[in-house]
Amino acid sequence: MKLDEALDISLRAVDREIQNIVKYDKDVPRSSTLAKSIIDQIQSGGKRIRPLMVIVGSRFGKPQDKRKIWQLAAAAEFIHAASLIHDDIIDNSSLRRGQPALHVKLGVYEALHVGNYMSARVIELISTYSAERERYAYDLSSLVTTQLCIGEYQQLTHLYDYDVTIEEYIEKSKNKTAQLMASCLRIGALAAGVDEATADLLYSFGEKLGISFQIRDDILDFTQSSEKLGKPAGSDLRHGQVTLPVLFALEDEPLAPRIRAISADTPSQLIDPVIAAIQQSDALAKTEQLSKHYLDEAAALIDQLSAYPAHKDLRVLLDFFSGRDR
Amino acid sequence: METKLVQDACLLLQGEISPESGIHLKLQQEDVLPMVSLLDQYDLTPVRKQRHLSIYIAIKLALQSHMCCDNCTGETLTRKVLNGDYLYSLYVQLCLKWEEYDLLTHLAPIVKRIQIKHVEGNPQDTLLIEGWEWFLQFEGNCSRAIQAI
């Protein structure tokens, strides 16, 4: 069963709400390149994990205004989608969900500002609706996005740095991926009137799921076929990103010097056998173990929230994150 | 130009920027001159003037960082994209930290419209200073009205 079905949330309704963000912007003509680009981007699909997490968070309280929850959910996806547009520019990725990336269609400058528009539109919406100074709603546009950039800066600083520690890797993963997911649950909960302590527990749960999600993503970079990935296996390492599987592989004494020899100038054919050696080592199993450790910690948090009927939705999220394509 | 105000605002902003970003503020006089002149016309406390100028510089530098991305590649492009993104989110953070909620509510649609103009290929970054002036006028009118009552 799909995540949205398991959570009994209409993905069509989520998508409609996301599209409404641009459709109801009086400053953007519906026939404009900007509106079309965003609608195309939304219609290209996606699991909408982040909006679903906002709605799950809200189920821990009694939302006075359900519309507000859905708007927040849509805003979370807008922030995520904007970050993907900029990620594709930074990574020079030509494809997004099998379609040409936005910067390929429009050009770097235009795509960059489409992403900026999406982030700015979210700030506008939140500032309109947060008349009562509900500062938590701003987390999406301030704390989360600042930390997202910090995660990217950390990644940039540590390119081809084989001395990076596991703690530093986890810190970067929190900033880049986990914080937004964690904030989605927390913001949904606070918007539904949940107390701070419960909202913080939901944040911790989301953070652990997010870290596990990032670790799993880094495993998939080694295990999925190049056709499915749309890029060669081990692409992260080829671009200097020292992910968790590489850190564990560096503990293998014969393998470590071969990995450390990889630099920006190393030709791809010399990297191929090192990638193959990492795939055959026990590094992926160790990485999987750490991912599972975070999922176990998340599961323990569900127990602490068992008084809420909505805790069953956390189990659904946990199962989804545990079962992502291997 | 009020050199001290600019220096203080830069110091304030640099102190708020995470060292991990590697951003070191480098300003041209023409970048801040219009805002300094504008602030001079209004009766703001020195601290508030500094804060407004810091927020303005953050947005201005974010705009500039993304403005010149087209011809860049590799790490230069990455840094320019990230610096712009970081400074845009920092301006929101600063408005919240300094409780400039009304300013944020006022700036949000202006910053958005500036992005729209860039996508349309018709940049109008002067909207920022014009919008700021409108905010200061509005705020001044409100406080005078309250005093009159």
CA A296 to each of CA A27, A117, A134, A185: distance values in angstroms, whole numbers, following the listed order: 47, 39, 33, 18
Interchain contact B102–A (C-beta under 8 A): no
Interchain contact B101–A (C-beta under 8 A): yes
Question: Cβ separation of A34 and B109 shorter than 8 Å?
Answer: no
Tokens, residue A142? 């301030």
Task: Give the CATH number of the domain where residue A57 resides.
Answer: 1.10.600.10
Question: Cβ separation of A117 and B108 shorter than 8 Å?
Answer: no
- Tokens 């989804």 belong to A320
The alpha carbon of residue A234 and the mean position of all alpha carbons in its chain are separated, in whole angstroms, by: 20
pLDDT confidence bin for B149, thresholds 50/70/90: low
A-chain CB neighbours of B21 within 8 Å are 149-150, 153
Comparing CB atoms, the residue among B20, B66, B77 nearest residue A153 is B20
The rounded distance, in Å, linking the Cα atoms of B4 and B13 is: 14
Q: Which domain holds residue B10?
A: 3-148
Q: Which domain holds residue A126?
A: 3-218+313-322
**Closest CA–CA distance from residue B126 to any residue of chain A (Å):** 17
For B53-113, the DSSP string reads HHHHHHHHHHHHHHHT-TT--HHHHHHHHHHHHHHHHHHHHHHHHTT-HHHHHHHHHHHHH
Tokens, residue A57? 């968070």
User: Angle at CA B7, nearest 5°, toward B1 and B13?
Assistant: 125
The rounded distance, in Å, linking the Cα atoms of A200 and A187 is: 10
Tens of each residue's pLDDT in chain A, 326 residues: 899 999 999 999 999 999 999 999 999 999 999 999 999 999 998 999 999 999 999 999 998 889 999 999 999 999 999 999 999 999 988 888 888 999 999 999 999 999 999 999 999 999 887 655 577 888 887 888 999 999 999 999 999 999 999 999 999 999 999 999 999 999 999 999 999 999 999 999 999 999 999 999 999 999 986 666 667 889 999 999 999 999 999 999 999 999 999 999 999 999 999 999 999 999 999 999 999 999 999 999 999 999 999 999 999 999 999 986 44
pLDDT of residue A326: 42
**Using DSSP, how many helices (H) and how many strands (E) does chain B show?**
6, 0
User: B143 or A21: which carries more pLDDT confidence?
Assistant: A21
The alpha carbon of residue B6 and the mean position of all alpha carbons in its chain are separated, in whole angstroms, by: 13
Comparing CB atoms, the residue among A90, A123, A157 nearest residue B108 is A123
Instruction: Please name which of A313, A324, A295, A213 lies closest in space to residue A6, comparing C-alpha atoms.
Output: A313
Tokens, residue A10? 């209409």
- Tokens 């519309």 belong to A67
CA A70 to each of CA A15, A191, A206, A229, A317: distance values in angstroms, whole numbers, following the listed order: 10, 10, 19, 32, 18
Question: Cβ separation of A124 and B109 shorter than 8 Å?
Answer: yes
The rounded distance, in Å, linking the Cα atoms of A88 and A100 is: 10
The alpha carbon of residue B109 and the mean position of all alpha carbons in its chain are separated, in whole angstroms, by: 14
Q: How many domains does chain B have?
A: 1
B-chain CB neighbours of A124 within 8 Å are 108-109, 112
CA A95 to each of CA A19, A50, A86, A217: distance values in angstroms, whole numbers, following the listed order: 22, 22, 13, 17
Comparing CB atoms, the residue among A33, A142, A157 nearest residue B96 is A142
A-chain CB neighbours of B116 within 8 Å are 27-28, 34, 117
pLDDT of residue B88: 97
The rounded distance, in Å, linking the Cα atoms of A38 and B112 is: 15
A279 CB-near residues (< 8 Å, 6+ apart) = A222, A223, A233, A234
Residue pair A233/A196 in contact (Cβ under 8 Å)? The answer is no
B-chain CB neighbours of A143 within 8 Å are 93
Which amino acid belongs to residue A46? G
pLDDT confidence bin for B148, thresholds 50/70/90: low
A306-313: which pairs have CB atoms within 8 A and are 24 or more residues apart? A308/A59, A308/A60, A308/A198, A309/A59, A310/A56, A310/A59, A310/A60, A313/A7, A313/A56, A313/A59
Query: ipTM higher than 0.90?
Result: yes
Assign residue B74 a region (left: φ > 0; alpha: ψ between -120 and 50; beta: otherwise).
left
Tokens, residue A83? 């970050």
Instruction: Please name which of A108, A140, A104 lies closest in space to residue A21, comparing C-alpha atoms.
Output: A140
Cα end-to-end span (Å), chain A: 17
B70 CB-near residues (< 8 Å, 6+ apart) = A107, A108, A109
B-chain CB neighbours of A179 within 8 Å are none
Comparing CB atoms, the residue among A90, A121, A150 nearest residue B20 is A150
Chain B, residues 43-62, CB within 8 A of chain A, namely none
The rounded distance, in Å, linking the Cα atoms of A144 and A294 is: 21
Q: Has residue A227 been placed in a domain?
A: no
Q: Has residue A189 been placed in a domain?
A: yes
B-chain CB neighbours of A28 within 8 Å are 116
pLDDT of residue A323: 85
A-chain CB neighbours of B112 within 8 Å are 27, 117, 120-121, 123-124
A-chain CB neighbours of B89 within 8 Å are 119, 141-142, 145-146, 149
Q: How many domains does chain A have?
A: 1
> Which residue from B minimizes the CA distance to A90?
B78
Residue pair A149/B89 in contact (Cβ under 8 Å)? The answer is yes
pLDDT of residue A128: 82
> Which residue from B minimizes the CA distance to A37?
B119
Q: Has residue A131 been placed in a domain?
A: yes
The mean pLDDT of B20-34, rounded to a whole number, is 92
The rounded distance, in Å, linking the Cα atoms of A150 and A145 is: 9
> Which residue from B minimizes the CA distance to A147?
B86
Which amino acid belongs to residue A70? W
Q: Has residue A290 been placed in a domain?
A: no
Q: Has residue A158 been placed in a domain?
A: yes
> Which residue from A minimizes the CA distance to B91?
A142
The alpha carbon of residue A131 and the mean position of all alpha carbons in its chain are separated, in whole angstroms, by: 29
The alpha carbon of residue B44 and the mean position of all alpha carbons in its chain are separated, in whole angstroms, by: 16
Q: Has residue A107 been placed in a domain?
A: yes
Q: What share of chain B is helix, strand, coil (3-state, %, to 5)?
A: 80, 0, 20
Instruction: Please name which of B56, B41, B60 lies closest in space to residue B136, comparing C-alpha atoms.
Output: B41
The rounded distance, in Å, linking the Cα atoms of B104 and B94 is: 9
